[in-house]
Structure 1
Amino acid sequence: MKDKSAINYKKSRNRGSVEQETKVPDRDGSIMAIATKDVISIPPSKSIKETAEVMMKHEFRRLPVTDPGSGKLLGFVTVMDILDFLGGGNKFNIIVNKYEDNFLAAINEPIRQIMSRDLIVLSNKDSIEKTIDVMLENQIGAVPIVDSDEQLVGIVTERDIALSLAGVLTEERVQDYMSTKVFTTTPGTPVESASKIMVRNRLRRIPIIGGEADISKAAKKLLGIITSTDIIRFLNAKDLFENLNSNLASDVLNTKLSDIMVEKLITVPPTERLGDLCQIFLDNNIGGVPVVKNDEVVGIITERDILRAIKRF
């Protein structure tokens, strides 16, 4: 494993393919060297549907919600908040109770109705080490960064940290950090049920298994994967609304995962090096993969597991 002192904290990976040198002012902590500073935020009045559109356009899993006048941070919305709204949790009550299952009306609710208001934020003077601690302790994938005036000045994600520090993980193997408790489901599972599995278990992705008449084999055969982003992309698809037979949420949420899951998925063996895994994440713009041995899913590894590995050193 490489010495951490060899890491160049002045390299900033903004969301894109270009890596730029960033001059970090003395007053800033090391976190600002890898944080995204040109932050896209939304006002609390933007609808849930419009928010999903912004997320998919920029390939974001979360968005800060700011006051359009003062620029102060008001809340944070993630793909998990939208999955909660789609049947995964209590926010589904907006569709059921307020709109009596009228999906098209409910998705035009302002995002303030489902955004998270209990914010965990960091200062622009904080360090990368503190950021890792905060993310792991609170099991969150991103943290907004504010200055002394409570103005939003950046955002840092698990991916930012995992990719910027990937060089220190030269000998560590996937099998030592992967999660062996893997939640799976089948192609016939409806979107609403998948959303519940994700929200209740705080998952961003679920491997899809099945496809064999022999139940013992079907329980092991990997057919694809569904991610929280795939579900939001489905919600955002133009033809979804064009092909609806009614305004009922049930018409949308009963859609089977076989219609939207990713079949050409990427997997890794347990012996994969974490440094190489980080490169796979970067090259394919993904945050987690199933771990497969002898054609059987034996684990799953994500950016959060990379943070745990970094934390150990």
Structure 2
Amino acid sequence: MGSNYFRSRIEGYRWLRSDGKPSFSTRVYRVEKELERLAKKILVSVSQTSPVLDAIEKMYTFQEEQLLVLHGENNFSGLVTSENVIDYLGGGELYNIVMDRHGGEIHSALNEQVKTIMIKESPFVYINEKLPDVISSMIKNKTRALPVLYKDNTVYGIITQRDIVMLLAEKRTGVKAGEICSPIISVNSLDPLIVGMKMLVQTSLDSIYVKNEMDQIIGTLDSSGIVQLFGSHEAFKFVKKGYLTEVNSIPIKDVMQFNIERVYKQVDMGDVISKMFNKKLKTVLVTDENDEDIGMITFDDAFFVLALPI
């Protein structure tokens, strides 16, 4: 996960005690369990030598934001995420590989091995560790997912930020939406896709808002939508000369989703989180008494509200 948004959101929480040790909300200790009961067993993975397109296709088919990278008999090599994919396809520094090594040619670039874009020294946790250990590692390493390993470094599964939010969710948190929302991050619907990809990588978000030429919010650009574009092979219909820039030049409106939801600033975060799960949202807008949009809430915010003392 990129650090900009994460760092700005963690500042309002009492994450470290005066002695430097992590501080967690009481709900973390109420549900404390070992990872064998919390983590998802590995269902889908890729190898270091798998083509990048294979990883994208699996993310799309299995609706996964992260894939474990394995070698040999279930041995852990690293992690590849939708953010790594978007970084490589045009959003970040990995895009230099596409241009320098592959001359921007889309089929050659998508045939690059996963090991080129994966997180090679990915943080992980062992299966006997407890929930506070997991939360601490996620925050320190600025990641939304952690591989779960046996002591011999073979893989048991993975635990995600979303899993923890679901585990800790309560109807009432005592925190209002307006207290923790952040400024709305958006792009224009007519901007080329690469502009949205760069914004996703720069902010470390997996969903940003899309505005029209009248500055009205009309939808979202999600990491999953970009994965779907390539994983479904729909991207190839835009390719006439064989270059990735042909896809990256399409307007964001051709890839955006129209799933906008709003909550009033006085609504408890418990209700906000419930809505996000029920409607499969990555972000919601927060409004004031005049129905004006004043901010946005992401799953990062839900994670911090539930896991840390405010």
TM-score, structure 1 as length reference: 0.84
Q: Aligned to 1:223, what secondary structure does the other structure show?
A: strand
In 2, distance between residues paired with 1:4 and 1:97?
Answer: 49
Which residue is equivalent to 2:230? 235
Q: Aligned to 2:170, what secondary structure does the other structure show?
A: helix
Q: Is the 8 A contact 1:135 1:142 kept in 2?
A: yes
In 2, distance between residues paired with 1:223 and 1:279?
Answer: 23
Structure 2 residue 253 is matched with structure 1 residue 253: no
Map residues 96-135 of structure 1 onto 2, 5 A cutoff. Answer: 96-135=99-138
Q: Is the 8 A contact 1:159 1:287 kept in 2?
A: no
In 2, distance between residues paired with 1:297 and 1:65?
Answer: 40
* RMSD (Å) for aligned C-alpha atoms: 2.1
Structure 2 residue 59 is matched with structure 1 residue 55: yes
TM superposition shift of 1:211: 3.7
Structure 2 residue 193 is matched with structure 1 residue 191: yes
In 1, distance between residues paired with 2:28 and 2:303?
Answer: 17
In 2, distance between residues paired with 1:137 and 1:273?
Answer: 27
Q: 1:184 to 1:33 in 2, by over 3 A?
A: same
Among 297, 304, 308, the alignment partner of 1:301 is 297
TM superposition shift of 1:168: 6.7
Which residue is equivalent to 1:284? 279
TM superposition shift of 1:169: 4.1
Q: Aligned to 1:264, what secondary structure does the other structure show?
A: coil
TM superposition shift of 1:5: 8.5
More relative contact order in 1 or in 2 (CA 8 Å, sep 6+)?
A: 2
Which residue is equivalent to 2:85? 82
Which residue is equivalent to 1:160? 163
Structure 2 residue 260 is matched with structure 1 residue 265: yes
Between the aligned residues of both structures, percent identity stands at 22
Q: Is the 8 A contact 1:187 1:210 kept in 2?
A: yes
TM-score, structure 2 as length reference: 0.85
In 1, distance between residues paired with 2:207 and 2:90?
Answer: 16
Q: Is the 8 A contact 2:51 2:111 kept in 1?
A: yes
Q: Aligned to 1:42, what secondary structure does the other structure show?
A: strand
1:55-78 CA distances to partner (integer Å, 9 max, x unpaired)? 0111111111000x2311101100
Q: Segments of 4+ in structure 1 off by > 4 A?
A: 5-9
In 2, distance between residues paired with 1:252 and 1:39?
Answer: 30
Q: Aligned to 2:88, what secondary structure does the other structure show?
A: helix
Query: Number of residues paired by the alignment?
Result: 284
Q: Is the 8 A contact 1:143 1:157 kept in 2?
A: yes
